[in-house]
Structure 1
Amino acid sequence: GIPHFYRQFGYEYTLPLGPTVLLPPEQVPEPLEGEEQPGIRPAQPEDRVRLLTLMAAANQGLAISYLREPAAWAHQDDPLRQDDEAIITLVVMEGRQVAGYFRLFRHESHAMPGVTIVEASPLSHHAALAALRYAKQVSTARRIGHGIRLALPISHPLARLALYLGGRSLDPYAWLVRIPDPVRFLGAIAPALEARLENSFLAGFDSFLRLDLYTQTLELRFQAGRLAGVRNLGCLESQAARLPWWAAWQLWLGCRSRAELTAWYPDARISERLQPLVDTLFPKRPSWIWPTL
């Protein structure tokens, strides 16, 4: 997309996008003499069920994630594709079992130079090293000097290993998101809000929270820890919890914490008595959208 352009239509940057780590290939250690290496091979159609299970494991702990349909996976891995979004999925074998997978863009592009790992399941240290060594081999074969890029959550074991090996942390771009109906959105995430309350010292919360977005005020009413309803109160002023709409979206989606938003922007204010409730309902959490095209 065009940087900044879509913000004029009410979109806001909220979810990370793009590479998070750049690793020089020479930083990837070669295996020790006699060290047994996990097998790596291209994924086959019969691996698809196992891959979907591993993808679900990769999404664990993410606030916002993407579940891919088998047909979309087949389209992405189509060997006849020659566009910049064409992907190859590689499985890591431990014995005869598929222990994990990682995915590379088939071709280098101007937008994503170098060898790019665009997705990976959770991998053991041994398997993660094998994946990085494979990427190193691809980089050497292509004579690419742009390094190995990891477009993964910074919390991913593969990204963390790359940092320990001397990789450099990058500032990712972001997905632009718009929430056209905040009342409907907050109602849709009620199960998550209720679970967060239940697992906190605010279990059984029985009251309401009003969020003044300056353009409208929303009221979340809870009964015995359950979200009983969300109402738009119009332009009713409520000074206890005030956030510009775009800051509220970042809070709701876990992009930034309440403390970060209030420290960063003067018009974001949450009274001390409501801070524990807001922090419980809307904690900062990592999100990631795997390739979708």
Structure 2
Amino acid sequence: MDSNYTICRGDAALDVSELKTLYRDVFQQEDVAELADILFHHAPGLPPENWLLAREKNTNALAAACVLIPWTWEMEGVAIKVGEQGLVGTLDEHRKKGLMRGLNDALRQIMLDEGYLLGVIQGIPGFYHNFGYYYSVPLNNHIDAPFHIMPDELEGSPWTFAPATKEDIPFLLEEDERYRSYYSISVKRDRAVWDYLLTHSKNTEYGSDYFITKHSKTGQRFYCRIPGQGFGSGLIVSEVSIDISPDAFMALLVFAKKLARERDKPYLRFDLHNDSPAGNMAIAMGAKKGYPYAWQISIPDKVAFLRGIASVLEKRLAGSCFKGFSGVYRLEMFAENADLVWSRGVLEEVRPGTTEECPLTFCLNQDLFPLLALGHRTWRELQHTRPDIFPAAQHVRPFDYLARDQSAPMTDVLFPKTKSWVYERY
């Protein structure tokens, strides 16, 4: 980074108008400036210290900034502390000075110091891999549903729709529990997050309408989220109750179609996992299957992450042919490695690997670790384009060792391909 600049953290005295001016000049959009203002004042769990600032040393002028937005994700019942790098911006006259490198180095150190297991970005392609972020969890899908596949009316439908209010938060929290049980990786939103979503978030570019649909006779309820803005020209439906019934989903289609026409939207776009129940129903009716983007994810401390998901790994092992396994399984990542020490099916320790020979060794380059560890791809799928992921016996051990090597099936058990989807928290 250019020596004429310094990186610092925000504090209680930080003038948010300074941030707004920066973002207004960088993005040429008032929406981004207002989002910064609302996040600064109202986002739950976001302290001023999470704003990172790059300033000129001589003038103290703000040249670049970003924010570490705290999330809680869940991996098969285990809470994961996550930090999102958001609102990244540098003024034109300060670019190519290494400021993004400086901000990212500072961000990484904060994540290490404060126990963040994952760093995530919803950012542009072709840039953040320079800072150790790799596509690892699906994001932002386009299941496009044309109007002709859905009816205009449902005569005698018992389903009614009403905007969600803060009084509905207990129900929405229950809906979130059902959603999390369906996916390997998901977001965990508490009452404070839902309060923010139903109030302050509505005044940002992420603002959404939430609707509760209720059966007039049985009282059964489901919900959906319809953002005001997003990619594409269709009306976006970005959350739907994970257990929505087929008749309630049909009522939702009719409701959303009417809303789309009122807002001059030419089709419905379901921003959902292709294999979600609502996504499956839409595709079965004739909607186009989507090809989602992905979260770019960094794992700043791989050993700490593996320790954090120990119970997930133990559960997977217990349901496999390796039940009760004792021994050491090594992830050899060339520049570093991690030893998982097992005793009768219990993951007793995860530690940096030693130089000693480990019979059960699986090799992969560091950039592939998030994709494997988070279940985005199997190692065999990754191997189609990246031969640098392999059981050690395949390339670096004597040939007769291959028949005895169990690192491939062990890797299949510990790091299978899974189904994940993360809803927004702001």
> What TM-score does the superposition give when structure 1 sets the normalisation length?
0.91
Matched with 1:276 is 409
Alignment match, 1:58: 179
2:194 corresponds in structure 1 to 73
Tell me what 2:349 maps to. Answer: 229
- Matched position secondary structure for 1:169: coil
| Structure 1 match to 2:145 | 23
2:380 counterpart of 1:259:
yes
Distance 1:6 1:39, change over 3 A: same
Q: Which amino acid aligns with 1:288?
A: W
Rounded to whole Å, the distance in 2 between the matches of 1:3 and 1:263 is 22
Asked if structure 2 preserves the Cα contact closer than 8 Å seen for 1:91 and 1:101, the reply is yes
User: Which digits, 9 at most, give the CA deviation of each residue in 1:98-146, with x for residues without a partner?
Assistant: 52111101x244x34321111121201111111122111111112222x
Q: Which residue of 2 aligns with 1:9?
A: 131
* Of 184-193 and 42-51, the range deviating more from structure 2: 42-51
Q: Distance in 2 between matches of 1:164 and 1:216?
A: 46
- Aligned partner of 2:92 in structure 1 is none
CA shift for structure 1 position 78: 2.4
Contact 2:303 2:352 in 1 (8 A): yes
User: Quick one: distance in 2 between partners of 1:78 and 1:186?
Assistant: 37
Shift of the alpha carbon at 1:242?
Answer: 0.9
- 127, 138, 144: which is aligned to 2:265? 144
Aligned-partner residue type, residue 423 of structure 2: W
Contact 2:362 2:411 in 1 (8 A): no
* Cα-to-partner distance string for 1:37-90 (whole Å, 9 max, x where unaligned): 422211122211011011110111312111112222222222883432101111
C-alpha offsets along residues 236-261 of structure 1, whole Å, 9 cap, x if unaligned?
78794111112121111011112212
Per-residue CA deviation, residues 139-161 of structure 1 (Å, 9 max, x unaligned), is 1112222x211111111111111
Is 1:212–1:237's contact at 8 Å kept on the other side of the alignment?
no
Q: 2: CA distance between counterparts of 1:61 and 1:139?
A: 29
1:214 and 1:235 in contact (8 A); partners too:
no
Give the corresponding residue for 1:120.
240
Q: Is the 8 A contact 1:216 1:235 kept in 2?
A: no
Counterpart secondary structure, 1:97:
coil
Once residues 204 and 262 of structure 1 are traced to their aligned partners in structure 2, the CA distance between those partners, rounded to angstroms, is 29
Helix, strand or coil at the partner of 1:81: helix
Structure whose alpha-carbon radius of gyration is higher: 2
Partners of 2:150 and 2:200 lie apart in 1 by: 28
**CA pair 120-194 structure 1, distance change in 2 beyond 3 A:** same
The match for 2:340 among 220, 245, 249 is 220
Equivalent position of 2:55 in the other structure: none
CA contact (8 A) 1:20 1:153 kept: no
TM-score (norm 2): 0.64
RMSD of aligned residue pairs (Cα, Å): 2.1
CA contact (8 A) 1:211 1:238 kept: no
1:262 Cα shift?
Answer: 2.2
Cα distance 1:31–1:166, how it changes in 2: closer, same or farther (>3 A)?
A: same
1:86-165 matches, cutoff 5 A: 86-94=207-215, 95=217, 97-105=219-227, 107-109=228-230, 111-122=231-242, 123-145=244-266, 147-165=267-285
Determine helix, strand or coil for the equivalent of 2:274.
coil
Q: Which has the higher contact order (CA 8 A, sep 6+)?
A: 1
Percent of residue pairs identical: 30
CA contact (8 A) 1:216 1:234 kept: no
Q: 1:202 to 1:31 in 2, by over 3 A?
A: farther
Task: Give 1:81's aligned amino acid.
Answer: K
Structure 1: distance between partners of 2:186 and 2:412: 21
Name the count of aligned residue pairs. 289
Distance 1:234 1:28 in 2: 60
* Distance change (3 Å), C-alpha of 1:236 and 1:175: farther
Between the aligned partners of 1:223 and 1:234, the Cα distance in structure 2 is 18
